[in-house]
Structure formats: structure tokens, C-alpha cells
A = this chain, B = another copy of it.
Amino acid sequence: MGLDPTKLKKYLGLKREFASKEYINLNPIQRGGILTEEARKALVEFGDGYSVCDWCPPKTPRLDMVTRPPIHDFMVDLASFLNMDVVRVVTRCREAKFIIFHMLGKPGDYVVIDSLAHYTTYLAAEATGLKIKEVPHNGYPEYKINLNTYAEKIEEVKKETGKLPVAALLTHVDSFYGNLNDASKVAKICHEYGVPFILNAAYTAGVMPINGKSLMIDGLVGSGHKSWAASAPTGILALTEELSKKILVRSKIVGDWSGRHFPIKELPLLGCTVMGAPIISLMASFPHVVERVKKWEEEIKKARYLVEQLEKIEGTKQLGVKPKQHTLIHVESLGFQKIAETHKRRGFFLYDELKKRKIVGIQPGLTRHFEFNVYGLTWDEIKYVAESFLDIAKKYGLSVG
């Protein structure tokens, strides 16, 4: 075998350069996933392999039925919190989408999605053999999804295939511009047609209040590591009672020789999903998450303040819908781009300058367009980030004012 054991030292003592305490990390996908202290402790306590399986109930051996630790209660409480009927924790938001598509559709069927959907929405459809029909956005500079077009797209699918799409999915807040979409608007359209409405709440559930019933969601998918202060990989699959009957189907297979069968196991979950540390981190952070969503308005104020400050910089504006309704911000800066054109480090100068100021998480090399997320920053940190950008602009002779 080609393995050189002396070279394995590199896997020991791995450190994360951007640990949250040293740096202000603005990485768009990381702000909502910073652990609480409770979660960090829980991670160590339940670090070992199948740590949550000490008390797997012999008659209902399934993760969601475990009562020590209180995983069963957690599923119920999580459903209450989202105002959905049934919740399962799965390995990733993308897996939740795959599970829904896989259980509802057959190869060749359609799903209608927004054109700013996360790439994993496309992959989840593709992996199940579904075709997609995209709902357009209005392009630069707003990139606003034309929500009414869901009706048109459903009609198109009907005309083309003689059947309705198996589901319509809306990305509640997209990962490019951080635009918040009115879920209930799409829900109404879907319900008129009898098409299950799926909300990808990866950037919303866990950071802002979500009420599944008011939004008329049939299926909500979320991400523990993105927005619930949990370790990866954790996804949330929250369903209405009605949809859950089609999704959380039990196994029916019977061994042709042995007669073995597993009627308690939920087929699309392949039995159990997150049987260790990450689900415990999700649970340990849950009381904090329940409280933090109440402070969402303050988070928006901080986002708007930062946009206001950044837009003082020559040639710099926020893209996406204004004013911000989410903490994920996409900035276009012709000013910073102008500097990059002649700087010896090209676009990396901005990264370098920010890093000197202990601010990281914006993709190195980008200046004309870049994204970041300010969720959970204190007002002092927000002001520090704003000042840092303005400082850098001034240092390179951009007008600020």
C-alpha cells in the first residue's frame, strides 16, 4: 500500500485559523452556524461515534424515538417552533430536498424552482431524475424572483407533460443576494393547483421567525450548520401531517429467503440519520435559537446600517432588493475594482487589508462583487467592519461621503 505513515502527522493538532474569537468572520455561510457554548460542551460530551444510541428503544429502534437524550421531545419541540406537524433531523438541507423530490417524483417528472435556488436544489432534482422549470428573476440590480410566475410555470409543466409538477420549491432567502421572498404568495398559487409547496429555509429558519402554518408551507427544509448554531452535517425536514404520509414512508421490503423486514424504519431516512454529536449540538443550541429569532429586527437594522456606510464608498452599492431584509449582503464595488486593476496583489488587496484588520470570510480576490453575512455581529463589530471598509477606501484614494 502506498501510505507513508510518517506523513500522517499533518492530521494531528489541526487548527482553524479563523476561529470565531480571533477574527470577525463574515463568511456568508458561516454566521448562523457559530456554536453556542452549550453546543460546544455537548459536542465533547457526545463526541464518541454512536453516542446518542445508548438508549435506543428496542421496540422502536429509530433516532427520533430516542428519549435519553431527549431526541424525541426535540423533534416535537422543533415542529412546534416552526409551526409544522412533523420534523426529522436529516444530514443536510440538500438531503431533505432530495428526500422530498425522491419520494414525490418519478424520473421525468417536473419540479418548479426559483432561478436563484441553491445549487443543491438543482442537484437534488437531477439526482432523482426530475426535470426543473425555473421561475425567473428581474436581473440586475434587484434580482427579484417574479413570484407570480410560479403559476405560469406550473401551467407550462401541465401543458408539456399532462401532469402537475410534483412540487414547487421557493428559496426563502437566496445565497447570492440575500433577497427575502414572500413565501405565502407562492404557497397560495401552489395550493390553488394542489402542488406541494416546499420552502428552502436554509438561510431563514433558525435566525428569523418562521411560522409554517401562516406561510402555508407543506414542506420546510433547513440547515443546522447554516442557521441553527449546530455542527455540520445537520438538516431539518419539517412537514405537514399530510405531506409526511407521502415522505416518511416505512420500509416494506421483505427478505426473500430470510423473511427479515423492518416496518418501523423510515425508508427515505435509511433508518437513522444524524446519530451523534451534531444533533446534540443542534439540541443544545435550540433554547438559544428560540430566543435569538426574536431579535431578528435588530439584525436587519445592523445589516442596513452597514449597507448605508458601504454605499458611501465611490462606486459601491448593494445589489438585490432594497432595503435589506436579511443579513446576507451582496456588494458591487466599481471603486474597489478600480484599485484592483493597478494593485500588485490585484483583487487580493481587499482581502489582505481586511485580514490585517482581523476581518475574514470574504472570498479572497473578489472586489467587483462580493458577499458577506453580518448575522450575529454586535453593533461594535458592525461599526468596526464599516470603518474598516471606509478606511481601506480612503487609503487607496476612493472618495467616501
On A, residues with C-beta under 8 Å from B are 1-3, 5, 7-20, 25, 27, 29-30, 32-35, 38-54, 58, 68-70, 73-74, 77, 80-81, 83, 91-92, 94-95, 98, 102, 115, 119-120, 122-127, 132-136, 211, 224-226, 229-233, 251-253, 255-258, 260, 262, 265, 267-268, 270-271, 273-278, 280-281, 283-284, 286-287, 290-291, 360-361, 363, 365
B47 touches A35 (CB 8 A): yes
A48 touches B119 (CB 8 A): no
Query: Which of A1, A5, A27, A69 has the most chain B CB atoms inside 10 A of its CB?
Result: A1
B122 touches A251 (CB 8 A): yes
B277 touches A1 (CB 8 A): no
A18 touches B115 (CB 8 A): no
Residues of chain B contacted by A40 (CB below 8 angstroms)? 44, 47
- State A211–B2 Cα separation when bound (angstroms): 11
Residue of B7, B48, B54, B134 near A35 (CB, 8 A) is B48
Given contacts A80-B3, A287-B8, contact A49 B115 (CB under 8 A): no
A14 touches B115 (CB 8 A): no
Report 8 cross-chain contacts, Cβ distance below 8 Å, ordered by A residue: A1-B80, A25-B54, A29-B50, A122-B255, A132-B256, A134-B257, A135-B257, A277-B277
B77 touches A260 (CB 8 A): no
- State A281–B231 Cα separation when bound (angstroms): 12
A282 nearest in chain B by CB position: B11
A102 nearest in chain B by CB position: B127
Task: Report A177 CB to chain B, min CB distance, Å.
Answer: 14
- State A229–B226 Cα separation when bound (angstroms): 26
A124 touches B290 (CB 8 A): no
Given contacts A19-B45, A47-B43, A274-B232, contact A73 B260 (CB under 8 A): no
Task: Report A288 CB to chain B, min CB distance, Å.
Answer: 9
Residues of chain B contacted by A92 (CB below 8 angstroms)? 91, 270, 273
Task: Report A210 CB to chain B, min CB distance, Å.
Answer: 10
Task: Report A380 CB to chain B, min CB distance, Å.
Answer: 21
Task: Report A340 CB to chain B, min CB distance, Å.
Answer: 15
Residues of chain B contacted by A68 (CB below 8 angstroms)? 17
- State A39–B12 Cα separation when bound (angstroms): 9
B253 touches A125 (CB 8 A): yes
Residue of B48, B290, B365 near A231 (CB, 8 A) is B48
Task: Report A95 CB to chain B, min CB distance, Å.
Answer: 7
Residue of B17, B132, B271, B363 near A123 (CB, 8 A) is B271
A137 nearest in chain B by CB position: B258
A267 touches B10 (CB 8 A): no
Residues of chain B contacted by A25 (CB below 8 angstroms)? 54
- State A58–B29 Cα separation when bound (angstroms): 14
B98 touches A3 (CB 8 A): no
B123 touches A43 (CB 8 A): no
B290 touches A5 (CB 8 A): yes
Given contacts A44-B44, A123-B271, A127-B267, 17 further A-B contacts (CB under 8 A): A1-B81, A11-B284, A14-B46, A14-B69, A14-B280, A16-B48, A35-B48, A35-B49, A48-B231, A49-B229, A119-B265, A122-B255, A125-B253, A126-B267, A132-B253, A134-B255, A225-B275
Task: Report A150 CB to chain B, min CB distance, Å.
Answer: 13
- State A71–B45 Cα separation when bound (angstroms): 25
Residue of B39, B58, B91, B120 near A365 (CB, 8 A) is B58
A285 nearest in chain B by CB position: B11
B49 touches A34 (CB 8 A): yes
